[in-house]
Structure 1
Amino acid sequence: MKFCSACGHTVTLRIPAGDNRERFVCEDCGTVHYQNPRNVVGTVPVWDDKVLLCRRAIEPRYGYWTLPAGFMEMGETTSEAAARETLEEAGARVEVQHLFSLLNVPHVHQVHLFYLARMLDLDIEAGEESLEVKLFDERDIPWDDIAFPTVGQTLRFFFADRAAGSYGLHTGDIFRSLRDG
C-alpha cells in the first residue's frame, strides 16, 4: 500500500500507538489501514454418492479441478456466500448444511470454509469462472489435477467421514504454496 484511501496522502509502515504490529498509517490524516485475512467460502455439493467439481477457467490454477468457492462479499453470511459461489461457478442450487472444514492458509492471508451441501437438482452448468462442471464418484476424483491443497484436504475429510458414516467439523492449517497443488 502506498497511498491512504481516506485522503490520498502517502502512508508509512509503522507500529501505531496502542498496537503491537506494523500497519500502514497515513501521516497526514492519521488513518490506520488494517489488512486482514480474506474468507474463501464454498461447498462440498453432493448428489447421491457423487461430489460436484468445477474445472477452473481462471488463474490461479487454470484448468484444474476445485470445489465451487470464492471470496465472501460484504453483507453476506458465510453460508450465503457459499451458496452464491456454488450457483455462480456451477449453476448448482444447493441446500447448505453444516460447516464442514475450516482451513487456515496463512501464507496467502486466507481462511477457507467449506459447507456440506445437498444439491437440489441436476440442473448444473459451468459459470464464467468454470470450463466445465462434473459429478464425480470417489474413485474418479482427478486427485493429480486438484487446484488447491484446501480442496484436496476437504475432499479427503469428506470421503473419510462418509466411510465412517458420520460427518464432523474439520479444522487445520495449510502451509503449502499453490505450486504444491
Structure 2
Amino acid sequence: MNFCSNCGARVEYKVPPGDTLPRYVCPACGTIHYQNPKLVVGCIPEWEDRVLLCRRAIEPRYGYWTLPAGFMENGETTFEAALRETMEEARARVELGPLYTVYNLPHVNQVYMMFRARLLDLDFRPGEESLEVKLFGEPEVPWNELAFRTIHATLRNYFADRGRGEFPLHVGTIEPPAKN
C-alpha cells in the first residue's frame, strides 16, 4: 500500500500507538489501514458415495478441479457464502451440514472453511467460474489435478472419515509448498 484510501496521502508502515503490529498509517489524516486474512468458504456436495467437483475456468489453477468455494463477501454468514459459492460455481442446490474443515494458510493470509453438504438433486451444471462439474467417487477423483492443497487435504480426510463412519472437525495449518 502506498497511498491512503481515505485522503490520498502517502502512508507510512509503522506500529501505531496502542498497537503491537506494524500497519499502514496515514500521517495526514491518521487513518490506520488494517489488513486481515480473507475467508474462503465452501462445501463438499455429497450424493450417495460421490462428491461434486468443479473444473476451474479462472486463474489461479485454471483447468484444475476443486470443491465449490470462494471468498466470503461482507454482510454474509459463512453458511450464506457456502450456499452462494456452490450455486455460482456448480449451479447446485445443497443442504448444508456441519463445518468439516478449517485450514489456516498464513503464507497467503487466508482461512479455508468447508462444510459438508447434501445435494438436493442432480440438476447441476457449470457456472461462469467452472468449465465443467462432475460427481466423483473416491477412485475417480483426479488427485493429481486438484487445484489446491486445502482441497486435497479436505478430500483425503473426507474419504478416510467416511470409511470410519465418523466426521470430526479437522483444523490445521497448510504450509507453503517446498521450494526446489
Q: TM-score range by the shorter chain?
A: over 0.9
Q: Give unpaired runs (5+ residues) of structure 2.
A: none
CA–CA separation in structure 2 for the residues paired with 1:23 and 1:137: 46
Cα displacement (A) at 1:179? 8.8
Deviation at 1:176, TM superposition (A): 2.1
Letter of the 1:115 partner, please give it. F
Confirm whether residue 7 of structure 1 aligns to residue 7 of structure 2. Answer: yes
The answer as to whether partners of 1:12 and 1:27 remain within 8 angstroms in 2 is yes
What's the Cα RMSD here? 1.4
Tell me the distance in 2 between the aligned counterparts of 1:118 and 1:176.
31
Aligned position for 2:65 = 65
Whole-Å Cα distance in 2 between the matches of residues 20 and 167 of structure 1? 38
CA positional deviation for 1:178: 10
User: Who is 2:153 aligned against?
Assistant: 153
- Tell me which residue corresponds to 1:34: 34
Q: For residue 111 of structure 1, give the secondary structure of its aligned residue in structure 2.
A: strand
- Partner-residue secondary structure (3-state), 1:6: coil
Instruction: Give the distance between the partners of 2:10 and 2:137, measured in 1 at CA.
Output: 54
Which segments of structure 1 move beyond 3 Å, counting only runs of 4 or more?
Answer: 177-180
TM-score (norm 2): 0.97
Superposed displacement of residue 152, structure 1:
0.3
* Cα offsets for 1:153-173 (capped at 9, x unmatched): 000110011000011100000
Contact 1:40 1:71 in 2 (8 A): yes
The count of residues paired between Structure 1 and Structure 2 equals 180
Alignment deviations for residues 16-36 of structure 1 (CA, whole Å, 9 cap, x no partner): 001111100000000000000
Give me the TM-score of the superposition, normalised by structure 1: 0.97
Give the share of equivalent positions with the same residue, in percent.
Answer: 60
Q: For 1:82 and 1:56, locate their aligned partners in 2 and report how far apart those are by CA, in whole Å.
A: 17
Q: 1:89 to 1:165 in 2, by over 3 A?
A: same
